[in-house]
Amino acid sequence: MHTVVVGTSGVTASDVLAVARADARIEISQEAVAALAAAREIVDALAAKPDPVYGVSTGFGALATRHISEELRIQLQRNIVRSHAAGMGPRVEREVVRALMFLRLKTVCSGHTGVRPEVAQTMADILNAGITPVVHEYGSLGCSGDLAPLSHCALTLMGEGEAEGPDGVVRPAAELLAEHGIAPVELREKEGLALLNGTDGMLGMLIMALADLEQLYKSADVTAALSLEALLGTDKVLAPELHAIRPHPGQGASAANMLAVLRDSGMTGHHQDDAPRVQDAYSVRCAPQVAGAGRDTLAHARMVAERELASAVDNPVVLPDGRVESNGNFHGAPVAYVLDFLAIAAADLASIAERRTDRLLDKNRSHGLPPFLADDAGVDSGLMIAQYTQAALVSEMKRLAVPASADSIPSSAMQEDHVSMGWSAARKLRTAVDNLTRVLAIELYAAARAVELREGLTPAPATGAAIAALRGAGAQGPGPDRFLAPDLAAADAFVREGGLVAAVEAVTGALR
DSSP per-residue string spanning 81-93: HHHH---EEEEPP
Residues 352, 217: Cα–Cα separation, whole Å: 13
Length of the chain, in residues = 512
Residue ranges of E strands in 303-423: 317-318, 324-325
299, 217 Cβ separation under 8 angstroms? no
Residues 78, 300: Cα–Cα separation, whole Å: 39
Residues 84, 496: Cα–Cα separation, whole Å: 36
Cα–Cα nearest to 143, from 399, 336, 340: 336
- CA 192 from chain centre, in angstroms, equals 28
Residues 375, 266: Cα–Cα separation, whole Å: 24
Instruction: Classify residue 342 by burial, with Cβ atoms within 10 Å: 0-12, 13-18, 19+.
Output: buried
Residues 397, 390: Cα–Cα separation, whole Å: 11
6, 109 Cβ separation under 8 angstroms? yes
Residues 159, 306: Cα–Cα separation, whole Å: 33
Cα–Cα nearest to 91, from 129, 145, 138: 138
Element (H, E) at 360: helix 333-361
Residues in a beta bridge with 324:
318
53, 46 Cβ separation under 8 angstroms? yes
CA angle 448, 459, 489 (to 5 degrees): 15
- In this structure, which amino acid lies at residue 120? A
Residues 411, 148: Cα–Cα separation, whole Å: 13
Cα–Cα nearest to 6, from 34, 28, 21: 28
Residues in a beta bridge with 114:
none
| Catalytic (active-site) positions | 54
The sign of the torsion formed by the CA atoms of 468, 472, 475, 477 equals: positive
475, 424 Cβ separation under 8 angstroms? no
